Structure 1
């Protein structure tokens, strides 16, 4: 182990597809639809949303600024890794533990309700505190709850936020600023995001259908994924990071895929591996016309048509600021061999890894380069790929071309 090596030791996660990493791993082996049809966030237009329906813990901190659903999600994920976090604080000291959280919503849902009451009655509700909706609120909440005093801040770069939090955690550890970081992404549903994406004509009224010629857009979702990040070799290695900001357009991706190509290539270079070493790619795969076109072009240029890949957004919805962390979490579970063995199999003469199935109508868009999408009866086209899975890559491509690719590696 070198001082620059960084590991994702423990994972807490919840979303529409499950209330913990174990249940999410199990549910990814099915084609079950976890979307909830509701008009609660869309003013009379029923939409499929990745709503989480499980129990959430109560927040015991007294200040109003902490009382948000976003912070409840963060606490639920944190509770799943509390023993590892507690041990790290005891080992390294509160000054050496940081918190970095990606989000795009924070407590905006609570602010929406408060502003509506203020507009209707002229009175601000007693529970309301402007701090609820500050982007830094969830990171500060976790830091306050744990009593840690290392760097504590949020990252809000739309759909890449959660992944960028993990990259930032690695930088803090490599720089010697922290010995441990609680890092990931947390985003909860609110009308601002659902109606905002609807105004962009990017929302589907049916379950999202990534890379199909019939794709119509995304399903907005909510969720959280938190990791304990240290240089202790347990869990999975954060082997490679490739980041970029091409600023092509405020909401549309560069149609040539140039920004995505740079990120994936930089992540491979950072990990010191060739594209053939990657056994699975978790696609950004939003099911919008523009994103899937761009990502297909970029994937084909970097990985060709053999590397197994899938979008898991039909299971989770697009969880925006949490997506990069949740999808890195799915790769983490793959490297732990946590997914049931019934999903997807390699050729019969190889070890059987498990890959998340790509749920779609299997109607190929002939205008897109061919990808090796993981179908329920998946058999990889490559007979030379090493098994078991050694490296998995996760893509997160955000507004403004704020892109990132993460490579997670199995600990040898």
Structure 2
């Protein structure tokens, strides 16, 4: 018998705000306060980015070697669910809680700053340690900060990183290697990422405009989300996941969306649901010409045209390795009775559909969550190299 798993708690920090209630309110309202102009990331260019505003908590001095903005962002999300994690540690034992987190940039911003100092002075900053930018730093830091001694590792599969952790952690629990898991992920703004997407000519000169006829590229953002996953019953259930790999191109998706559709089909099969059971789809929706074209084909070929869909990147930007976790958190906030505003996440754009794309039912502000006992929602995340993941969350199914 397969034991159902639940998302017992959720912490979230993003351009929409900090914490569950503030984020849920900003999400439902379609706010864009966190989309700001920066002139210090790309040489001779001002770009719009999705930023987390304000100070972030500093780690304990014993973890100074791990101190980076990326880890601080993760700590801000973890702090919100610390009590739930402690309760799980008392219930299962600290050695029985895994930590599986996703990132793509890790603390590379600290490496950039340290290298700049070295080039200017010939010496490295005393505060710099390579652990700050190691890809695996995130999970090791979180496990140490939480005092957890179960399996701990970082998933780095580009923009699908922090949602692949759902399936990875579930495998650990089903294999008997853990009883619960801290999952999620984080990514932070850095020059490497912005200049990389600039070199690909994929950056929007203004605000990203998903699925619009006028879409012209990505807006990069930052964010972190953390969940506690266990078999302890809770309002929001992790129903299913699907993972595929296109291997089509290093950066471009399969133009027909075959891998994306297969990931969604696998997630539905895993959940024991049909496409008609899904009440809302959170689209990957990066606002690049290629992504939106292939995703609209995949969605239209699988779901009823009336299925509500939206890309939340119009409010946050693309948070890269942190985006899948944060967008799963948006589903959690919408499903959880204690935090939900009762409204679906709206699709924020210019309202001009692309006639070359299959039409989708893009959510208008104020659209209510279906009023029924069982609700299921799906979220897509697609990464470079053709890494496709879909997850299904729901309430009322256990």
Give the structure-1-normalised TM-score.
Answer: 0.93
Which consecutive residues of structure 1, in runs of 5 or more, have no partner in the other structure? 342-353
Residue matched to 1:367: 356
CA RMSD of superposed structures (Å): 1.5
User: Is the contact between residue 101 and residue 183 of structure 2 (CA under 8 Å) also seen in structure 1?
Assistant: yes
* Matching residue of 1:75: 75
Within the alignment, does 1:231 sit opposite 2:220 as a pair?
A: no
- Deviations 1:313-366 (Å, cap 9, x if unpaired)? 11111101111110011111111143424xxxxxxxxxxxx2011011111100
Are residues 1:194 and 2:183 paired? no
Contact 1:159 1:320 in 2 (8 A): yes
Instruction: Give the match for residue 341 of structure 2.
Output: 340
Q: Report which stretch shifted further, 174-183 or 31-40.
A: 31-40
Counterpart position of 2:31: 32
1:28–1:357 CA contact under 8 A, matched in 2: yes
Deviations along 1:175-201, one digit per CA (max 9) or x if unpaired, are 111011111011111101111111111
How far apart are the structure 2 equivalents of 1:323 and 1:31? Answer: 17
Counterpart contact for 2:344–2:367, Cα < 8 Å? no
1:411 has 2:366 as partner = no
Instruction: Answer whether contact 1:160 1:403 (CA < 8 A) is retained.
Output: yes
Q: How does 1:160-179 map to 2 (within 5 A)?
A: 160-179=160-179
> Across the two proteins, how many residue pairs are aligned to each other?
395
Q: Distance in 2 between matches of 1:309 and 1:26?
A: 19
Cα distance in structure 2, aligned partners of 1:404 and 1:59 = 31
Q: Provide closer, same or farther for how the CA distance between residues 231 and 311 of structure 1 changes in structure 2, counting only shifts above 3 A.
A: same
User: In 2, distance between residues paired with 1:389 and 1:201?
Assistant: 43
- Tell me, yes or no, if the aligned pair for 1:12 and 1:20 is still in contact at 8 Å: yes
Counterparts of 1:10-409 in structure 2 under 5 Å? 10-34=9-33, 35-337=35-337, 338-341=339-342, 354-376=343-365, 387=372, 390-409=375-394
Deviation at 1:304, TM superposition (A): 3.0
Whole-angstrom distance in 1 between the partners of 2:347 and 2:63 = 43
- Looking at structure 2, the residues matched to 28 and 245 of structure 1 have their Cα atoms a distance apart, in angstroms, of 30
Gaps of 5+ in 2: none
Distance 1:118 1:50, change over 3 A: same
User: C-alpha separation between the residues in 1 aligned to 2:235 and 2:176?
Assistant: 21
The verdict on how the C-alpha distance between 1:3 and 1:272 changes in structure 2, with shifts beyond 3 A counting, is closer
Cα drift, residue 54 of structure 1 = 2.8
CA contact (8 A) 2:166 2:241 kept: no
Counterpart-to-counterpart distance in 2, 1:128 and 1:112: 10
Q: Deviations over 1:236-288 (max 9, x none)?
A: 11101010111100000000100001000111111111111000000000000
Per-residue CA distance 1:62-118 (angstroms, 9 max, x = gap): 344211111111111111001100011111111101101100111100000001111
- Whether the 8 Å CA contact 1:183–1:229 is kept in 2: the answer is yes
Q: How many Å separate the matches in 2 of 1:103 and 1:61?
A: 23
SS in structure 1 of the partner of residue 378 of structure 2: strand
- Aligned partner of 1:344 in structure 2 is none
> Contact 2:150 / 2:178 at 8 angstroms: preserved in 1?
yes
Deviations 1:162-182 (A, max 9, x none): 100122111111111101111
Greater share of residues in strand: 2
How far apart are the structure 1 equivalents of 2:396 and 2:73? 29
